[in-house]
Structure 1
């Protein structure tokens, strides 16, 4: 097969293993990518992902709209806030949870990962999902 440029219209919406809406973009499945995937992510007001990590793969996120908190690290004890226009880098294997703390506004982001198979490297961490700072029981 000759390499060629492909234009992918915003794809079909699906729910990721992490429990969030995503819209298909570039991946091994959509275009035969061999080193990356990129897709759009939408987090409804008040929603969050399931605790997870991406074993062996880096993630870069560009926040298009809204604001999210990201809990990360051992016991998800570290915290950062990302707003529209910010980039977020998540190293391979780092546990994390993005949270949309707004009651009214969606958060939307472009997510790129060094895993061309999109969901292959997702490892859910259910033992972290009930931590008090994630459930509002502060």
Structure 2
């Protein structure tokens, strides 16, 4: 029976019991995801774990003083929520813009924006929640000279080097 008169999906055989709302306990995140030197990612929500079609969500812990190379994420939109620590982002065609975010702050990265992600602390891990608008991990590395050189740890996604 339609819920709002515009319902176009069939009710699954389990009546939504196993295919409806899912709770993913914090201690059961999947670390078998693309890893990058200087950061540790763990998936909470993706296609493999819960059947998500349009989003990926998980955590990322960024080592002290770690800096990415300059990159963008193609057509993906990304949202980063800072749980602990201090994030610094540089963006623009020459990384001419900079902003910092701390606990409780959200960061939105639109599609195709050249940027560099930085843990602004030299001694504290940056802990964030990351949500992407697709399950595909897209990283396009750019040949732009970073203002803050990734001298300690260069974050290059080993799966998407080009």
Scaled to the shorter chain, the TM-score interval is 0.7 to 0.9
* Alpha-carbon contact 2:64-2:121 (below 8 Å) kept: yes
The residue aligned with 1:68 is 87
Alignment of 1:78-117 (within 5 A): 78-117=97-136
Structure 1 segments unaligned to the other structure (5+ residues) = none
In 2, the alpha carbon distance for the partners of 1:99 and 1:55 equals: 20
Q: Which structure has more strand as a fraction of its residues?
A: 1
For residues 7-59 of structure 1, what are the alpha-carbon distances to aligned partners after superposition, in whole Å with 9 as ceiling and x for unaligned?
Answer: 33222265535863211221123222111111101111110223221111111
RMSD: 2.3
The residue aligned with 1:123 is 140
In 2, the alpha carbon distance for the partners of 1:48 and 1:61 equals: 16
Secondary structure of the residue aligned to 1:30 is: helix
- TM-score relative to the length of structure 2: 0.71
1:77 aligns with 2:96: yes
Alignment of 1:19-98 (within 5 A): 20-98=39-117
Q: Which has the larger radius of gyration?
A: 2
In 1, the alpha carbon distance for the partners of 2:50 and 2:38 equals: 24
Q: Which structure has more helix as a fraction of its residues?
A: 1
For residues 59-110 of structure 1, what are the alpha-carbon distances to aligned partners after superposition, in whole Å with 9 as ceiling and x for unaligned?
Answer: 1111000001101121222111011110111111111111012121110100
1:16 aligns with 2:35: yes
Structure 2 segments unaligned to the other structure (5+ residues) = 1-10, 13-18, 152-162
Aligned length: 132
- TM-score relative to the length of structure 1: 0.83
